[in-house]
Every structure is written in structure tokens, then in C-alpha cells.
């Protein structure tokens, strides 16, 4: 019997755990996952698993989709882009719906989904407090030796970096001095909150928060943005507000505090119901912790021999599509448009023709076709 292929995954977030869950089903693989923190946990509130992500879970197998369901994911009947300011405020820009029977997106709590993905995994394959320092290889055909801060090592044949925006594996692949090796402040900050369903529904207009007809709403403002959706089997509502901070683009800031006065001023010209919701749900304390959104410049490659990166390590906060350069530009340009700073500003007609279509190349990406093409490429290389 041949020796198993040894796979190491560095990073125990959603991306790394999804891969770990998938590879554990393959008996010819000896797969281990390493997390730098003292436990496997997820920061942040909820994520949306769009149509392409749902298809990817199906390709992993039924157990992955079941993890999503057990984590309390709520399938959204639609995603609405709304105009929050200007002459036509409170108008719908556009809506993507699941009317054609195709799944659109499901919202799930990060921590719950991570817990389900790792449930039942062999404890001997899961390692915490393992911060990667360097990777050594004696030659092109040699295995990789991982060195961790605590002095321990691990040898593997394949290394996958799922180690997020601060990715050490990305720096190893590109080189520390590569301009694309380090992230940059994208110039937006966000405040995120999870609120009980009844509390959120009492603050918003009821048609905006409806677990029986769950729809994600994304509101476009002038330098501001608001998103809300239902999750956790309808018991929670996630609210994310975002604001432009041009000065932060040249800074090294990762976090800041946003005062209630600052938030209320930013959202004062929004429709009364939204202004009320922001005040009651996000300004119930004098200050709120906010995080800056960071991005990576496009990299020349995401692979070096048996090393590669996935998840937030290549592209923070979005799915890598077929063309990584397009994905990177799309992320930044869409963020500008969603905060009302695009070339057409808050013009309703222009937004109707341009906004939601910007996600088509990602959510309709054919994962099965890409997988099959990758397998054929691998087979062709092996035959040589």
C-alpha cells in the first residue's frame, strides 16, 4: 500500500475548516489543520454563502451542506439593493430573487458553521496555538517542513494557507518584499451587530425584517452603506453599517471607535425608519468598536510548488473567481458604488442598470466545470 499524501492546512477559519472537512473524507490523504489561536473560533458575525458557494458545498458532499443547515443558515428569498439617500430615497434599485428555483444565498453565523464543519473531526488531526514562522524545503521534490513559534515542526507534501488577511503563507509564496504580500487599508470602516429578531423587527419597518420571507437588504448612501439580513433559523438579525474614510487608505489602522454622535450624523438623512433602527440598535452605547476593511493587491501567483493559498489569504471578503485581477478590481469598484461614490453617484437609473449585475461573474461561476478542468490538468501533468 502506498504512503498517504500528507496535507497541512494553516488557518482554522471557515475556508480552512471547509477544506479540512472535505479532505478528511479521502482515505489516501493524511490531513492536519493548524490554528494560531488557542482554540478554533471565528470572529465576526455572519457570512453569506452565495449560489456558487452552495454549489461548492454540494461538490464536497452531503455532509457539508448538512453542516450549513445544522448551523441555522437561513436561505434568502431575495437580495435587494435599495437607495437610502437622494431624490428617490427608499426606492428599490434592483433585486435578485430565487423565483427561478435556483438558490441565491444563505446567511449563517460564522461560529456556528465553523463548529459544525469541525464536529467529529479526529482530535489528533487538529492543532491549536500553532503560529507558522517559516517553511523549509530541501529541493523541488522534497517535502515541506513547517516551523511554528512554539518550536515544533510538521512535515507535509502539500501546504494550503488559509491563514487570512495576515497570511504568512502568502508572504512565503510571494516573498516578504513583494508589494502584494502585505494587505492595505481599503478606506472603509464597518460596525457589525447581531440583534434578537423581535428587537430588530420593532426598530425597522416590518416589511424589511421578515423571517418568513427572508430577504437581504443592502442600502446605498452618500459615503455610507447599511446591510441587514436574518440568520440563525430566524432568531437573529445581522446589521452592518459602513462608512468611507479616505484618510485611512494611507494608514496602518485596523480598528477604531465610532461614537454614537458620528454614526447618527452619517445616517441622519436616511429614511426615518432606517434612521430609527440605526439609533436604537447601533447607538445604544456611547461608542461602538469598528473595524477597517483591508484588501490585498492582486498577486502574480497564488501557488509555489506544493504551496498555495485560499480564502481571505488571496482575496479578503470575497470569492476568488476565474480571473483574480477582475475579482480584485470588482471588489474595490463595487465598494465605491455601494457607498455612493461611483461616477453616477446616487442616480437611481444608472444604479438600476449597473449594480447587482456586478456579482454575476462570481455567483454564477461554474465550480463543477472548474474542478473538472483542474483534475484534467493534473492528470495531464502526471502523465508527462
Determine the distance from the C-alpha atom of residue 331 to the mean position of all C-alpha atoms in its chain, rounded to a whole number: 12
Task: Tell me the range of 34-43, 85-94, 97-106, 145-154 where mean pLDDT is highest.
Answer: 145-154
The pLDDT of residue 269 is: 93
The CA distance from 134 to 95, in Å, is: 47
Grid coordinates 437573529 are at which residue?
Answer: 236
Residue 267 makes CB contacts below 8 A (sequence gap 6+) with: 221, 224, 226, 241, 274, 275, 278
Angle in degrees, CA 216, 217, 221, rounded to 5: 155
Nearest to 268 by CA among 217, 200, 221, 203: 221
Assign domain 5-81+98-180+300-318+364-383 one CATH number from 3.40.50.2300, 1.10.1660.10, 3.40.30.10, 3.50.50.60: 3.50.50.60
* Mean pLDDT over each residue of the chain, to the nearest integer: 91
Q: What residue spans define the domains of the chain?
A: 5-81+98-180+300-318+364-383
The CA distance from 32 to 10, in Å, is: 9
- The answer to whether the predicted template modeling score (pTM) of the entire model surpasses 0.85 is yes
| pLDDT of 98 above 90 | no
pLDDT in tens, 276-333: 999 999 998 999 999 999 988 889 999 999 999 999 888 765 332 333 333 445 667 8
The pLDDT of residue 170 is: 97
pLDDT in tens, 51-90: 999 999 999 999 999 999 999 999 999 999 999 999 999 9
Task: Report CA dihedral (333, 337, 342, 346) to the nearest 10 degrees.
Answer: 170
The CA distance from 204 to 276, in Å, is: 7
pLDDT in tens, 201-258: 999 999 999 999 999 999 999 999 999 999 999 999 999 999 999 999 889 999 999 9
Query: DSSP label at 144?
Result: E
Amino acid at each position: 500500500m502506498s504512503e498517504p499524501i500528507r496535507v497541512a492546512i494553516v488557518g482554522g477559519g471557515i475556508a480552512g475548516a471547509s477544506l479540512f472537512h472535505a479532505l478528511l473524507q479521502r482515505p489516501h490523504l493524511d490531513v492536519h489543520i493548524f490554528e494560531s489561536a488557542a482554540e478554533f473560533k471565528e470572529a465576526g458575525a455572519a457570512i453569506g454563502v452565495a449560489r456558487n458557494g452552495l454549489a461548492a458545498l454540494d461538490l464536497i458532499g452531503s455532509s457539508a451542506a448538512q453542516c450549513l443547515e445544522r448551523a441555522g443558515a437561513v436561505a434568502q428569498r431575495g437580495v435587494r439593493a435599495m437607495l437610502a439617500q437622494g431624490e428617490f430615497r427608499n426606492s428599490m434599485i434592483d433585486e435578485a430573487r430565487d423565483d427561478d428555483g435556483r438558490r441565491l444565498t444563505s446567511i449563517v453565523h460564522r461560529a456556528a458553521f465553523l463548529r459544525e464543519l469541525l464536529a467529529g473531526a479526529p482530535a489528533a488531526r487538529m492543532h491549536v496555538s500553532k503560529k507558522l514562522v517559516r517553511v523549509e524545503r530541501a529541493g523541488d521534490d522534497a517535502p515541506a517542513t513547517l516551523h511554528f513559534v512554539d518550536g515544533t515542526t510538521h512535515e507535509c507534501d502539500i501546504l494550503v494557507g488559509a491563514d487570512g488577511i495576515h497570511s504568512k503563507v502568502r508572504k512565503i509564496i510571494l516573498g516578504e518584499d513583494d508589494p502584494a504580500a502585505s494587505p492595505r487599508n481599503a478606506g472603509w470602516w464597518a460596525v457589525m451587530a447581531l440583534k434578537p429578531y423581535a428587537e430588530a423587527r420593532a426598530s425597522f419597518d416590518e416589511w424589511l425584517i421578515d423571517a418568513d420571507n427572508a430577504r437581504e437588504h443592502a442600502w446605498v448612501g452618500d459615503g455610507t452603506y447599511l446591510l441587514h439580513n436574518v440568520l440563525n433559523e430566524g432568531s437573529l438579525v445581522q446589521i452592518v453599517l459602513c462608512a468611507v474614510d479616505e484618510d485611512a487608505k494611507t494608514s496602518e489602522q485596523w480598528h477604531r471607535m465610532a461614537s454614537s454622535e458620528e454614526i447618527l450624523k452619517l445616517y441622519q438623512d436616511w429614511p426615518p425608519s432606517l434612521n430609527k433602527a440605526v439609533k436604537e440598535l447601533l447607538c445604544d452605547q456611547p461608542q461602538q468598536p469598528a473595524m477597517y476593511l483591508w484588501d490585498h493587491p492582486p498577486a502574480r501567483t497564488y501557488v509555489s510548488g506544493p504551496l498555495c493559498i485560499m480564502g481571505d489569504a488571496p482575496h479578503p471578503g470575497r470569492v476568488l473567481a476565474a480571473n483574480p485581477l477582475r475579482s480584485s478590481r470588482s471588489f474595490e469598484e463595487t465598494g465605491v458604488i455601494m457607498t455612493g461614490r461611483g461616477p453616477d453617484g446616487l442616480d437611481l437609473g444608472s444604479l438600476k442598470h449597473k449594480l447587482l449585475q456586478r456579482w454575476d461573474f462570481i455567483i454564477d461561476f461554474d465550480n463543477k466545470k472548474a474542478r473538472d478542468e483542474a483534475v484534467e490538468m493534473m492528470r495531464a501533468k502526471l502523465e508527462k
